[in-house]
Amino acid sequence: MSGQGRVLVAGAGIAGLATAIALRDAGFDVTVFERAADPLGAAGSALGLHPAAVLALRSLGVDGPVVEGGAEVDRWELQDWGGRRIGGWPQTKVSEAFGAPSITVPRALLHQALHAAFPEGQLRRGTTVAGYRETGDGVELLLADGTRQSGHLLIGADGLRSAVRRQMHGDTPLRPAGFTAWRAVGDKVVGSDPVPTARQVLGAGATFGSWPLPGGRTYWVATLADEEQEAAGLTRPPDSPHTPEEHARLADAFRTAPSPAAGLIEATTPDRVVRTPILDRPPQAGWSTARTLLVGDAAHPMVPTTGQGGGQALLDSVAVGNVLRGADLRDHHGLAVRLHQFEEQRFPVTAKVAQAAWHQGRIHHERDPEQVALRDRRLHATTEAEWLSRLGLGPASTAARSA
């Protein structure tokens, strides 16, 4: 049965567009309001998608161009700062078990695929959401230009600094993770791995990751703990551009890391680099009120150490589509029940993923030399079976999947 009612979506990022597609497919009349005039322009760099996220894209019908334009990751390798191997696993085993690949994809390509699957006429670009007002039988979206839009359900998909969340929960501060990330797609190939390999190097208060992309390009992410950032002369006000001088300092900070970290940075032009001080919020329940629901980073921001935020946003969209399928959004009580069902399904999962990412972010940015040595020894002692179990391929999870 086709859903009935009008849905207003704040934000056309991964969460907003994917949720809009899922709800449009479920029969609702959906309009998306996006602050940026050109949301693709801000997309920048790349991101990794786990097999579960690719399955979510498949269920939205947009996996084809994303998988085609991305690069499969077949292996993961971890190194210490001296270049010694301290861990790794065949990612293909994870992909085979899920029935979908693990991929790295340019962000712009993912956004383009999502945009292409949603009618352009239903997307209002350059439109900032200022707030909302719930009435008994509907919700009014208040736009910054002073106009209003009426609907039956508002989806708050407006990201880490969500205006919808702020109105729902108050203006609570974000939690700094204690490190900053610089990321870019560079025109250089890393090494000559026989299979496409994701590599991560862990140091003292510094990490460097690299992922192959099609066309001889490499996606890289360099991170520095606050103290290392300051020591490298890289502290600067937010939103100021990444200058050539800062770029040279960044390369210098990774000069002692195993090759090709500094070389990859140097081979990338500074204008391609996106700098992001990392922030999240501790998991907080209460994602909905009578006619408003938070999804994606607006609901569950997480540090990017495990590369899951975008994938979890995609999984949200599929879950929203499922719980609202066949609903009449004018039915006040029925809507509230379904919004709670969504949170019951998604809160425990995303809280676990976010807590694991926070914990891993701390461990990866450990600065004390003894703790760093201990961490590296522990990683080195981790067997391939343990790595795979952490990725959901343990005996228990295998049994659960085949049940």
Applying CB under 6 A, which residues contact ligand FAD?
10-16, 33-36, 39, 47-49, 128-129, 157-160, 163, 181, 183, 276, 296-298, 304, 307-311, 313
CB 331, min distance to ligand FAD, A: 27
CB 221, min distance to ligand FAD, A: 6
- Report the C-alpha dihedral over residues 330, 334, 336, 337, rounded to 10 degrees: -160
Instruction: Extract the tokens encoding 274.
Output: 């996106």
CB 218, min distance to ligand FAD, A: 14
Return the H-helix or E-strand segment holding 358: helix 332-364
| H-state helical runs in 26-90 | 51-60, 63-69
Distance CA 297, CA 11 (A): 11
Q: Beta-strand (E) ranges in 162-314?
A: 175-186, 197-202, 206-213, 217-225, 274-280, 288-289, 292-294
- Quote the DSSP letter at residue 391: I
Nearer of residues 142 and 267 to ligand FAD, judged by Cβ:
142
**Site of tokens 């998306």:** 32
Nearer of residues 273 and 376 to ligand FAD, judged by Cβ:
273
Please, are residues 325 and 335 in contact by the beta-carbon 8 Å criterion? Answer: no
Nearer of residues 183 and 338 to ligand FAD, judged by Cβ:
183
Phi, psi of 375 (to 5 degrees): -55, -50
CB 350, min distance to ligand FAD, A: 11
- Quote the DSSP letter at residue 351: H
Nearer of residues 14 and 250 to ligand FAD, judged by Cβ:
14
Q: How far is CA 134 from CA 70, 315, 335, in A?
A: 41, 27, 13
CB 328, min distance to ligand FAD, A: 27
Nearer of residues 79 and 308 to ligand FAD, judged by Cβ:
308
Nearer of residues 103 and 257 to ligand FAD, judged by Cβ:
103
CB 3, min distance to ligand FAD, A: 22
